[in-house]
Amino acid sequence: MAGGTGGGEAITMVSHDAHAHAAPQGFIRKWVFSLDHKVIGIQYFFLALVAVFTGMFLSLLMRIHLVWPNAHLPIFGDIKPETYLSLLTMHGTIMVFFVLTTAPQGGFGNYFLPIQIGAPDMAFPVLNMLSFWTTFLGFVVLVAAFFVTGGAPLHGWTGYAPLSALQSAGPGEGLGADLWIISIAIFCIGALMGALNFITTTLDMRAKGMTLMRMPLTCWAWFITAILGLLAFGVLLSAGILLLMDRNLGTSFFVPLGTVNGILTGHKGGSPLLWQHLFWFFGHPEVYIAILPAMGLCSQLLSVFSRKPIFGYKAMVYAIMAIGFLGFMVWGHHMFMSGMSPYSAFAFSIMTMGIGVPSAIKTFNWLGTLWRGRIRFSSPMLFAIGFVSLFVVGGISGPFLAQPVLDIYLHETYFVIAHFHLIMGVASIFGIFAATYYWFPKMFGRMMNEPLAKTHFWFTFVGAYLIFMPMHYYGMAGGLRRYSQGTEVAWINTLAPIQKFISIAAFITIASQFIFLFNLFWSMFKGEKAVDNPWEATTLEWTTATPPPHDNFGGITPVVYNGPYEYSVPGAPKDFVMQTDAQVGAKKH
């Protein structure tokens, strides 16, 4: 059934009996091993929610140790330098894989891609279910590394060999490191299954009239992200298998002839740089796997809440494609310190500067969308604007690191941490928050509390800048990353007040996330009942019931006549025209 509150009264539907199927019966089939893409999307969302609070807790322990290195904590006791490195490794791994990759693509992408293109489900429902439970298993295996003999690994989330390739290399590099590698490999398998599903669904299951150039930018972002995942995660999976072989079967892919603690390793002929190339060939596309869904969503929200068509729709689509294409050509800028040829470094530097062009196109188009719009400062819009702010500010520091001569100085400092946290981490998290506040009414049938949402925004937005802007200065002053404490190095010790300021800001910002957590669960049960189209948006998810029925459109599928951003159309009865409104067919993207 069509919703009853916004511009979608004259919706034309066609029969779609081929894909109609009965809802599952029983708790296990409906909520645990569900084939419904909406339930699977919610499962991904709550997995990411558990992961993000786990990752934040680890960062809290790290921050405590950086300011009070001799503190004795209840339960955890003393945090030793090797424990700090384990916390760092697990924090990065959990956040990158199980939050930034899982929530935007697996969570919201699974839930809304089929609905936004007018499909009854994903192309391969069983594969979709398997992809979630594979990802869940990967998370369980990763967390298990904390509880085995030797504890979690300390080789960093990048897993650089030979540190990660030798079981004798240090504490946590035994079974804990094996579990870390196995977890990443399992995650890659789940991500590859999901990527195949997204690509097939987008290409084969669009409703009648839903041409590629009528798809919302969210769908374009999920589609290109799936292509990136298909190409990138396979490389990381292969590298992980080779690393496991080096560790357990005596092969020498990544370990050269040498000694560890005065003992010959028993390996020869391997190349630690090979791991770096394989990892970063995945690692830089991973940045865009994390950020592209947020870009697509925030493009959507800026249009919805400015009551204007997106500025330069086709340019935005081609910019997403260009970012995806160029993302595979810049991995070497992570390796300027590895001794690569200056000619190779120059080539990677040029390509890195070049990828800023499509990002700049998107940024100026976002500003063009906002310009002279009738802006509604609802909580999703605040987080979308916050995303743009963080993306731009985080991106500005990128060209510095893209210059080999500057990167040599900055590479091992907090400047790099500040850069990638802003542009990849916090910006993507803002996209996740924006998506939650925007789609929560459709997912759960209730509105989130708006005053609490805005309070959460301001604490998080201001807190992000108070944490990561001083980190840039700390890095430029020579503050080195991966050091568990600065008390042993004179010039770093003089920078201790900056670390203390950052930590206090982090404590407050982390505490403010419980505002979001309370709002989320309270609103699920006590929030105001949502109408079908509370934001007066135009895309297909707002034409169906709230929450959507099992097969999204009750056995029928919409016919699409318009583009996804028909706002302020002259002569239209309202300031928005639904994609399914047959009476307005002249205006197309």
Beta strands in 346-430 (DSSP E): none
The whole-number pLDDT of residue 584 equals 53
Instruction: For residue 149, report the phi and psi dihedrals to the nearest 5 degrees.
Output: -60, 130
559: left (phi over 0), alpha (psi -120 to 50) or beta: beta
How many C-beta neighbours within 10 Å does residue 512 have? 17
Q: Each residue of 44-73: pLDDT tens digit?
A: 999 999 999 999 999 999 999 999 998 888
**Mind spelling out the 3-state secondary structure of 265-307?**
CCCCCCCHHHHHHHHHHHHHHHHHHHHHHHHHHHHHHHHHHHC
- Burial of residue 244 (number of CB atoms within 10 Å: 0-12, 13-18, 19+): middle
Residue 340, CA atoms < 13 Å, CB-side half-sphere: 22
Q: What six digits make up the tokens of 255?
A: 């370990």
CA–CA separation, 130 and 537 (whole Å)? 33
The whole-number pLDDT of residue 106 equals 96
Low-confidence ranges of the chain (pLDDT < 50): 1-21, 585-589
Using DSSP, state whether 263 is helix, strand or coil: strand
Q: What six digits make up the tokens of 17?
A: 């009996």
The whole-number pLDDT of residue 18 equals 41
Question: Dihedral of CA 499/51/234/43: which sign?
Answer: negative
Using DSSP, state whether 198 is helix, strand or coil: helix
Distances (CA, A) of 252 to 269, 272, 295: 6, 10, 41
The continuous run of DSSP H or E covering 4 comes out as: none
CA–CA separation, 389 and 392 (whole Å)? 5
Q: Each residue of 100-121: pLDDT tens digit?
A: 999 999 999 999 999 999 999 9
Distances (CA, A) of 104 to 112, 113, 226, 239, 399: 11, 11, 11, 25, 26
Q: Is residue 253 within 8 Å of 274, Cβ to Cβ? A: yes
How many C-beta neighbours within 10 Å does residue 5 have? 14
Peptide bond into 547 cis (omega under 30): yes
Using DSSP, state whether 558 is helix, strand or coil: strand
- Render the burial of 215-231: b for 16+ CB within 10 Å, e for the rest: bbbbbbbbbbbbbbbbb
CA–CA separation, 407 and 529 (whole Å)? 52
Q: Is residue 451 within 8 Å of 556, Cβ to Cβ? A: no
Global pTM?
Answer: 0.93
CA 552 to chain centre: 25
CA–CA separation, 275 and 283 (whole Å)? 11
Strand partners, 77: 73
CA–CA separation, 504 and 508 (whole Å)? 6
The whole-number pLDDT of residue 6 equals 40
Q: Domains in the chain, ordered, with CATH? A: 1-33+528-589 (no CATH), 37-249 (1.20.210.10), 271-473 (1.20.210.10)
CA–CA separation, 365 and 568 (whole Å)? 18
The whole-number pLDDT of residue 488 equals 86
Q: What six digits make up the tokens of 467?
A: 């944490």
Q: What six digits make up the tokens of 241?
A: 């298998």
**Among candidate residues 387, 453, 382, the one with its CA nearest the CA of residue 422:** 387
Q: What six digits make up the tokens of 269?
A: 């002929």
The continuous run of DSSP H or E covering 53 comes out as: helix 37-67
Strand partners, 558: 13
Cβ contacts of 575 within 8 Å, gap of 6 or more: 307, 536, 567, 568, 569
